[in-house]
Amino acid sequence: MEGEVPARAGRGVRELCEQGTGLHEAARNVRTDHAAAVAAVRAAFDPLQAELVALELESIPVARLRDVTGGRLRLGAVEAAGLRTVRAVHEASRHELRQVPGVGEQTADRALAAARQIARAVADTVTVRIDVDHPEPRTTALVIALHRLVEAGPELRRALDTAERLDTRLAELLPAARPAGGRLRLALARRERRERALAAAAELGALLTDAAATDVRLLLAQASTDLLRPAASDVEAWVDFELRPAEYYGRLAEVSEQRPDTAASEGFVPSEVAERVHAQRLDDTHRRVSLRGYQEFGARFALAQRRVVLGDEMGLGKTVQAVAALAHLAAEGHSHFLVVCPAGVLINWTREIRARSTLRVLAVHGPDRQDAHADWRERGGVAVTTFDVLHTLPAPDGTPPGMLVVDEAHYVKNPDTRRSRSVAVWTGRCERVLFLTGTPMENRVEEFRALLRHLRPDLVPTVSDTEAAAGPHAFRRSVAPAYLRRNQEDVLTELPALVHTDEWVELGPADRAAYHEAVAEGNFMAMRRAAYADPETSAKLRRLREIVAEAAANGLKTVVFSYFRDVLDAVRQGLGDSAFGPIAGSVPAARRQRLVDDFTGASGHAVLLSQIEAGGVGLNLQAASVVILCEPQVKPTLEHQAVARAHRMGQIRAVRVHRLLATDSVDDRLLRILARKERLFDAFARRSDMADATPEAVDISDASLARRIVEEEQQRLSAPTKTTTT
């Protein structure tokens, strides 16, 4: 009957509405408390940004206002009145401008509008940096305000998303369901309204049941508690900032809306790929870290595209993006994951997974690797193993891992190696595969094709030598479904300055004699390290000691890279035994990490020595703000990697890079020839507007480079020609 009232109406609905009202209030409180915390950050941030904008506007001549208005603005009277910069106009009021002889109402309004337009554009480009070495009241206020958001942790984002969803839905459901709370009222209501009230009550009940099952009330209560904590002290806030600056800058980017260019943060992928990635959900249930916008896009890209290369420049957090993808898949019910990496970063992977997620992690390495593998197969989690161990593990049978992650994937660019064959077996069995590498292209486009053969063989034919020679844009279009790369300068606007200095010296008598002997022998490697032949008189070593002494005077940590172990031994002899290291290929992974931890934990100045191929991969050295390269590298990517160990997300000071070079030597020749290899790397592994690469530049090899340099030096020094050795 139309007037019949269902049994579930009445008191039961009133109780649901009471519970819903309480949940609605909790959700609105979280949003209000968060808005207050954000307002505190804005109040500290805005004056700092305004000052930077004013400084920029001060450097812009007032004539630029004419450009903004299409040349229609008459500025003669304004300039004659002494308002010669855009800042002067921007800070003037309409009334003040109209008091200037010859400036009418229209000119004043147009000038102010143009100045404000330029100021808005400048505000999008300036970056507020927090100088930990020179704290002052305004930046201290900003750090304290940010501390509250950072302390709330990664759960805050989930709480806010939940609160927003509940606030919106409950605001609709509660008024709609309340008529069902009174049986008489419901009986007298029209059928359409009665049915609407009962449907709303049913949906409200389901919403409350789900909220209880997922502890939503606790999530909201914890968020409000965190947001309402008393402000931290100056010291507490600054110390915490030094411990986790990346999280502070991440929250600042969210609040200030100082986000990188969208196209750059999404790797300039085509719109159809970007749309598919945006549609991919990202579950954070098992994640313990907040993601930057570009990192979230990277994790979604890996999930949406399934078999991809994440080629972000070093220092942008490829590991955390991989962990986010694994955490999402775990939330969907996947239980087994496999990470393959070089031995030197295995410990770093296990530490990162434990710190950034709730996932179980096992190191399948060393004498107990078979037991660890059996444990992983039985109980699940993330197994982390090395390229050298992978071939000893049985290929997956039955259900493969939910995702295979291969770190430093350029290690498998040669299909004939055992490591490449082992990886190929696993990539063939896994539906989702994520390759991580900051250098997918080193010398040849063929190396990148080798990675694609593991993942998307259908794309390989589109990456031809002809297309490579056509330039980076054609190259990126052809691999967009399986390749994502972002650069530091595009997405980490808060990074302090990176200052490169080439330190040229002249070889001393002993070093020059050693150099001539190496040239005569055709020994390329001996030529590269001849500058350290006599540590007592070495000009390079003398300059290195000066740089280290300057860093020590300023309390700065320094990392010294060389390709050669004996060069590092000479450096240690020159510096004394106080230096940490060296980190070398022969040093076990656990020992490497301890050296980095000890170096990072040392109070004040410290020096860490490292072979560039061992320390330039996987280790985080952002405690260092001075980097010394003992010699130029044959592969430009080695230098990029090494510098990025320090100049990466989390760095809080400017990084100074000093490259030691000897005049009239192999260093001169190497830099000139490598210029083309540098351009090749920039054009293809990075997004670049440089001229199209030539096939000859693509095909240069390390061996041919060494022969060329030796032959040129033998001719220059008129030394007898001998077969080149490398």
Q: What percentage of residues in the chain have a pLDDT greater than 70?
A: 88
φ, ψ dihedrals at 406, nearest 5°: -120, 110
- Residue boundaries of the structural domains of the chain: 11-42+136-239, 49-123, 266-490, 496-717
What integer pLDDT is reported at residue 438 of this predicted model? 76
Q: What's the distance, Cα to Cα, between the start and end of the chain in Å?
A: 95
Is residue 337 scored above 60 in pLDDT? yes
Residues 6+ apart with CB under 8 A from 315: 488, 492, 644, 645, 647, 648, 649, 651
Q: What pTM did the predictor assign?
A: 0.76
What integer pLDDT is reported at residue 133 of this predicted model? 78
φ, ψ dihedrals at 285, nearest 5°: -55, -40
Q: What percentage of residues in the chain have a pLDDT greater than 90?
A: 45
What integer pLDDT is reported at residue 489 of this predicted model? 77
**Helices 346-356, 318-331: inter-axial angle, 10-degree rounding:** 50
Average of pLDDT values for 474-484?
Answer: 77
3-class DSSP state of 698: helix
Question: Kindly report the CA angle at 8 between 6 and 10, in degrees rounded to 5?
Answer: 95
What is the CATH number that goes with domain 496-717?
Answer: 3.40.50.300
Q: Please give the DSSP secondary-structure letter assigned to residue 393.
A: S
C-alpha closest to that of 280 among 294, 296, 291: 296
What integer pLDDT is reported at residue 250 of this predicted model? 86
CB-based contact 335:396 (threshold 8 Å): no
The DSSP string of 114-138 is: HHHHHHHHHHTT------TTS--HH
What integer pLDDT is reported at residue 4 of this predicted model? 39
Name the architecture of domain 266-490.
3-Layer(aba) Sandwich (3.40)
Question: Kindly report the CA angle at 327 between 322 and 329, in degrees rounded to 5?
Answer: 100
Reported as a single tens digit per residue, the pLDDT across 254-291 is 888 776 778 888 888 888 999 999 999 999 889 988 88
Both tokens assigned to 720: 């007898």
Both tokens assigned to 408: 């430093």
Alpha-carbon span 451 to 183, nearest angstrom: 68
Q: In which residue are the tokens 């595009």 written?
A: 490
Alpha-carbon span 13 to 21, nearest angstrom: 12
Q: Please give the DSSP secondary-structure letter assigned to residue 261.
A: P
User: Do the domains 496-717 and 266-490 match in fold?
Assistant: yes
Both tokens assigned to 38: 């954000």
**Range in 134-148, 418-432, 570-584 the model is least confident about:** 570-584
Reported as a single tens digit per residue, the pLDDT across 570-605 is 999 999 878 998 998 888 888 888 998 899 888 889
Name the architecture of domain 49-123.
Orthogonal Bundle (1.10)
Q: Ramachandran region of residue 153, left (φ > 0), alpha (ψ -120 to 50) or beta?
A: left
What integer pLDDT is reported at residue 313 of this predicted model? 81
Q: In which residue are the tokens 């004498």 written?
A: 367
Residues 6+ apart with CB under 8 A from 293: 253, 259, 260, 265
φ, ψ dihedrals at 627, nearest 5°: -120, 130
Instruction: Say which amino acid occupies 192.
Output: E
3-class DSSP state of 348: helix
- Exposure string for 661-685, b = 16+ CB within 10 A, e = fewer: bbeebbbbbbeebbeebebbbbbbb
Predicted confidence band at 527 (pLDDT cuts at 50, 70, 90)? very high
